[in-house]
Structure 1
Amino acid sequence: MKFSANLGFLWNDQPLPEAIKLAHQAGYAAVECHWPYQFDADEVKNALHETGLQMLGLNTDRGDISKGDNGLSSIPGREVEARAAIDQAIVYASKINALNIHVMAGFASGEEAEKTFIDNLQYAADQAKTHNITILIEPLNHYDAPNYFLQTSAQAEDILQKVDRSNVKLMFDCYHLQIMEGDICRRLERLMPIIGHIQIASVPARSEPNTGELNYHYIFSKLEALGYSAPIGAEYKPAKGSVDSSWLADF
């Protein structure tokens, strides 16, 4: 199994170009990040070229975090801001040849929020298509992100059907979905046709994936049987604060 270092959590005390190099030294096959916009895209691209690593994905901007924003795309009345964040992400991703953009929904609920999210996702998909970029949506659990619009795989599946764009997929985060729903292997099998990326962490601590209640050895064997060969995103918070990638040897 190949792994992608999520630099939103790993080496996040370092500038992004340096974090990419550290991920390469640690033995990761790819990288991904959260919000890279403070770093010059050319410097990031050079680090990716130097290491030979692919940037799998990045997130749209959260909005005004001082006011509690965690994404914008499902919030009625903020469509202009949401689409500006989508445009920003597409420009940055195209410069560094990133494969995916996670369009963050934000805190909202109800039918109008769903319609707003669908409209913004259709916009994102149409804009990203010419750059061969896939748009991802990700359910987040209600402990870490209370009142986040997108919380379950069933809700995500329904939205993807309504969006009806081939380049919009599900980000299947085992940590979030184990907390919200469980039954991870059956969900992976059923949802595989709409999955664009998979992420892992231990549950419930969200630390190194070789601990906790999920047996990733078993999950990875199921993924191999399903023919999934893309790098798995290691989106975890190091238990000791500093990054220790020795867990990679367990898989």
Structure 2
Amino acid sequence: MRLAVCAEMVFTDLPLVERVERIHQRGFDVEIWDHTTKDVDALIATGATFSSMTGYVHGSLTHDQDQLLKTAEQSIEVAHRLGCPRLNLHGTELGEGGLPVRPQYGVTGEMWLAAAKTLARLAELGAANDVMFVLENLNTEVDHPGVPFAKAADTLALVAAVDHPNLRLMFDLYHAQIGEGNLIALLRKAAPFIGEIQVADVPGRCEPGTGEINYPAIAAVLRELGYEGTVGLEAFAHSDSELALRRFADAFGGTVRLEDI
């Protein structure tokens, strides 16, 4: 497994480029969110390996689909510059604080069909441009009320229905624990469709070892399943970012370059 760290959530007292440099120096790949808020040239200059980034700016799986595709194309251009292989998607456009721009508290059959068609278009776009789109599950109880297709069961159903190698799951275990629980069974079911895994503990959305999720057991199941992809820390530091990275590495059998700390 490769280990990545989301630069948006650790070393938050530093400018983002310096966060990326620190994460890279400590031996991790880097995740980022919206590219439109970033100095892409400065990110490239860090020499970091980028694991994933947000793959759209505006639009939704069920409305404004052309806008979604347009901003996905723009995101692909930035991903190519960064050498970033995975572009993250959500059930709908997210705005300030991770809240949906257009909340939807019920999902109709027509919306399911529209979402699957949009994801199929994105998968073909990914294939034409040698990138993978990954659809992330979210929780609606704490962080993202009003997001459709939020649960891991929903995202898995959509990805499996499209069944395209350039569309996979961004399987977020923090969100799944809040929304569904039963993480190991979910992992086993989702395994053939996972593009990347994200982790944080519950409650608090901090690093492994600070809450109720048994991440060493999760790591053991991933090894049993033969998972060789990326696990990304998308979590706030409970007390100290350096300690958060060490705890993350310990949970998944990775190493931190201690000489740089």
Alignment TM-score, normalising by the size of structure 1? 0.85
Q: Structure 1, residues 149-198: CA drift from partner, whole Å, max 9, x if none?
A: 12222222221233232210011111011111111112112211101101
Q: Secondary structure at the match of 1:175?
A: helix
Cα distance, 1:126–1:14 mapped onto 2, change above 3 Å: farther
Aligned to 2:238: 239
- Over aligned residue pairs, what C-alpha RMSD do you find? 2.1
Cα distance between partner residues in 2 of 1:79 and 1:156? 17
Q: Which amino acid aligns with 1:250?
A: D
Q: Secondary structure at the match of 1:56?
A: strand
The within-5 A match list for 1:146-161 is: 146-161=145-160
Q: Structure 1, residues 68-91: CA drift from partner, whole Å, max 9, x if none?
A: xxxx32242x12321222112111
Aligned to 1:66: none
User: In the TM superposition, what is the alpha-carbon distance from 1:36 to its structure 2 partner?
Assistant: 2.4
Aligned to 1:188: 187
- Within the candidate set 93, 97, 122, 2:83 is matched to 97
User: In the TM superposition, what is the alpha-carbon distance from 1:96 to its structure 2 partner?
Assistant: 0.9
Contact 2:207-2:248 at 8 Å conserved across structures: no
User: In the TM superposition, what is the alpha-carbon distance from 1:227 to its structure 2 partner?
Assistant: 1.2
Cα distance between partner residues in 2 of 1:44 and 1:242? 20
When structure 1 is superposed on structure 2, of 219-228 and 6-15 the one drifting more is: 6-15
Aligned to 1:73: 60
Q: Structure 1, residues 127-162: CA drift from partner, whole Å, max 9, x if none?
A: 221332111001111121112112222222221233
Aligned to 2:9: 9
Alignment TM-score, normalising by the size of structure 2? 0.82
Cα distance between partner residues in 2 of 1:79 and 1:100? 20
- Within the candidate set 131, 134, 151, 1:133 is matched to 131
Contact 1:73-1:116 at 8 Å conserved across structures: no
- Within the candidate set 108, 111, 123, 2:109 is matched to 111
Structure 2: stretches of 5+ with no match in the other structure: 93-102, 252-261
Q: Structure 1, residues 3-45: CA drift from partner, whole Å, max 9, x if none?
A: 21111212355444322211023x2421111112222333222
Aligned to 1:19: 19
Aligned length: 237
Aligned to 2:250: 250
Corresponding position: 1:88 with 2:74: yes
Q: Structure 1, residues 108-133: CA drift from partner, whole Å, max 9, x if none?
A: 33233323322322222212213321
Aligned to 1:58: 53
Contact 2:91-2:150 at 8 Å conserved across structures: no
Q: Structure 1, residues 213-234: CA drift from partner, whole Å, max 9, x if none?
A: 1111111111111111333100
Q: Secondary structure at the match of 1:154?
A: helix
User: In the TM superposition, what is the alpha-carbon distance from 1:249 to its structure 2 partner?
Assistant: 5.5
Contact 2:122-2:133 at 8 Å conserved across structures: yes
User: In the TM superposition, what is the alpha-carbon distance from 1:2 to its structure 2 partner?
Assistant: 4.2
Q: Which amino acid aligns with 1:97?
A: G
Q: Which amino acid aligns with 2:60?
A: S
Contact 1:16-1:36 at 8 Å conserved across structures: no
Contact 2:55-2:133 at 8 Å conserved across structures: no
User: Identity of counterpart residues, as a percentage?
Assistant: 27
